[in-house]
Amino acid sequence: MLFPPKDVIGIDIGNYSVKLVCLTEEKKVVRLKDWGYIPLSIKADTTPEEKKSIISEEIKTYLKKKGIQTRYAATAISGNSVIVRYVKLPKLSKKGLAMTISVEAEPFIPFDIKDVNLTYYILNDTSDEGEPKMDTVLVAAKRDAVQDKIDILTGAGLEPLIIDVDSFALETLYERIAPKGDTNSVLLLNIGQKVTNLSIISQGVTRVVRDIFIAGTTFDKAIAKALKSDLAAAAAAKKNRVLLVSDEDKEAVIADFDREGIAVSKAASGVLRDLYTEVSRSIDFYLSQGVEHSISKIIISGGMSNLGNITKFLSAEFKVPVEIANPLSFLPEAPNNMPKDVLPALAVAAGLALRKIKDWEE
Ligand SMILES: Nc1ncnc2c1ncn2[C@@H]1O[C@H](COP(=O)(O)OP(=O)(O)OP(=O)(O)O)[C@@H](O)[C@H]1O
Ligand SMILES: [Mg+2]
């Protein structure tokens, strides 16, 4: 591209909602140009093609309603359609690696190599039993999943410039919002509707990324089962109730004979314990690499971080401080018209928007 476009919309197309963030930079000051939160309610029997055009239309309508002129977009994929692996590859020249990458990568990729877009980044030189090697990040994205995102964006009248990965967008965001000179290891958990993106970042370097399929829908199902209700009623109960963590929390609902409150908390706690087990496996994996820093903090984001008392619950389980991300904390002023529960859901979109600014600066 001859002239990099000035502004790009970071647009996170999730299973529950579409989030968008557009930043602009003038005289080194970053300003929020536009933001958006578009809840989706797509019926279960909708075909994938219909689903794509519904989402396109929703985005298009929103852009029009808000008078958003920006036409370039950055988006991301996650879940089943992308795999990220940190691997050691033989030390080769750039050209040599470009020629052999599909062969080198094949053993690490659980998809047919013909169906994926393969990208890689060399992190640093290393060695393995005396052999010179390179620490490399492999990213294999299923072609049809990438195409789906491109179709949605072009269908909305946007021009897709970047297809990133949720976890990398979260890493970009964390770089920006982390305290300066942060030498600790943090665990990021972006808990959405179908997927929870996990990353462990130590001294600015991502060590573990993984997507876990325990998220909003899992809570809805567990709560529906406990309340013998449908999923919509369960989702509503999830938003109105809190996890009962302390003795005071429990005594309050018992005093009110609030059976539903107890049932919702019990069901949601069960799901969070399953999530805890999965996350602990990743932490153990990380620690088994002989690292110097254990996890000192957990930062959660995504719509599910609005679940009442979730930070209290998780910090009691993990025994480290847990906080909810503010993905716009780098702005001189927070937008005053944004609902409180939207903010943590903007994490991926904000990371995508920031990546743009970062890329052009380098
Ligand atoms: N106030 C709230 N209290 C509890 N849960 C909430 C609240 N607001 C949203 N959620 C839940 O957050 C989840 C959606 O989060 P998010 O918008 O991050 O998902 P998504 O990005 O669309 O999904 P995915 O990334 O899995 O495709 C839903 O399960 C929703 O019920
Ligand atoms: Mg999401």
Domain ranges for the chain: 8-78+143-178+326-361, 81-141, 216-318
pLDDT at 113: 87
> 66 by DSSP, 3-state: which?
helix
> 25 vs 17, which has greater pLDDT?
17
pLDDT at 11: 98
Average pLDDT over residues 114-130: 89
Q: What percent of the chain has pLDDT over 70?
A: 97
pLDDT tier for residue 5 given thresholds of 50, 70 and 90: low
CA angle 323, 325, 328 (to 5 degrees): 150
Ligand 1 site, residue 308, Cβ cutoff 6 A: no
Closest ligand 1 atom to residue 301 Cα is 18
* Residue 245 reports pLDDT greater than 90: yes
Ligand 1 site, residue 307, Cβ cutoff 6 A: yes
Average pLDDT over residues 56-65: 97
CA atoms of 131 and 249, how far apart (whole Å): 58
Average pLDDT over residues 95-100: 88
> 331 vs 3, which has greater pLDDT?
331
Task: Indicate the class that CATH gives domain 8-78+143-178+326-361.
Answer: alpha beta
Ligand 1 site, residue 327, Cβ cutoff 6 A: no
What's the CA-to-centroid distance between 296 and ligand 1, angstroms?
26
Residue with tokens 């018209």: 337
What's the CA-to-centroid distance between 255 and ligand 2, angstroms?
37
* Residue 362 reports pLDDT greater than 50: no
Ligand 1 site, residue 149, Cβ cutoff 6 A: no
Ligand 1 site, residue 221, Cβ cutoff 6 A: no
What's the CA-to-centroid distance between 66 and ligand 1, angstroms?
23
pLDDT at 124: 87
Ligand 1 site, residue 309, Cβ cutoff 6 A: no
- pTM for this predicted structure: 0.94
pLDDT tier for residue 128 given thresholds of 50, 70 and 90: confident
When the pLDDT of each residue in the chain is averaged and rounded to a whole number, the result is 92
* Tens digits of residue pLDDT in 144-189: 999 999 999 999 999 999 999 999 999 999 999 998 877 789 999 9
Alpha carbon nearest to ligand 1 atom 19, residue: 192
Most confident of 24-33, 105-114, 323-332: 323-332
Average pLDDT over residues 239-246: 96
pLDDT tier for residue 13 given thresholds of 50, 70 and 90: very high
> 358 vs 280, which has greater pLDDT?
280
Give the 3-state DSSP-derived string for 6-32, with helices as H, strands as E and coil as C. Answer: CCEEEEEECCCEEEEEEEEEECCEEEE
What's the CA-to-centroid distance between 44 and ligand 1, angstroms?
17
* Tens digits of residue pLDDT in 191-225: 999 999 999 998 888 889 999 999 999 999 999 99
Closest ligand 1 atom to residue 194 Cα is 26
> Which tokens hold the place of 325?
């991300």
> 331 vs 357, which has greater pLDDT?
331
pLDDT at 359: 58
Crossing angle (nearest 10°) for helices 347-361 and 166-177: 70
* Residue 2 reports pLDDT greater than 80: no
What's the CA-to-centroid distance between 189 and ligand 2, angstroms?
11
Using CB atoms within 10 A of its CB, is residue 111 exposed (0-12), middle (13-18) or buried (19+)?
middle
CA atoms of 313 and 249, how far apart (whole Å): 12
Q: What percent of the chain has pLDDT over 90?
A: 72
pLDDT tier for residue 357 given thresholds of 50, 70 and 90: low
What's the CA-to-centroid distance between 1 and ligand 1, angstroms?
36
pLDDT tier for residue 358 given thresholds of 50, 70 and 90: low
Average pLDDT over residues 49-74: 96
Ligand 1 site, residue 10, Cβ cutoff 6 A: no
The preferred substitution site among 12, 13, 17 for testing ligand 1, maximizing ligand atoms within 8 Å of CB, is 17
Ligand 1 site, residue 167, Cβ cutoff 6 A: no
Query: Which of these CATH numbers, 3.30.565.10, 3.40.50.1370, 3.40.80.10, 3.30.1490.300, describes 81-141?
Result: 3.30.1490.300
pLDDT at 29: 87
What's the CA-to-centroid distance between 22 and ligand 1, angstroms?
21
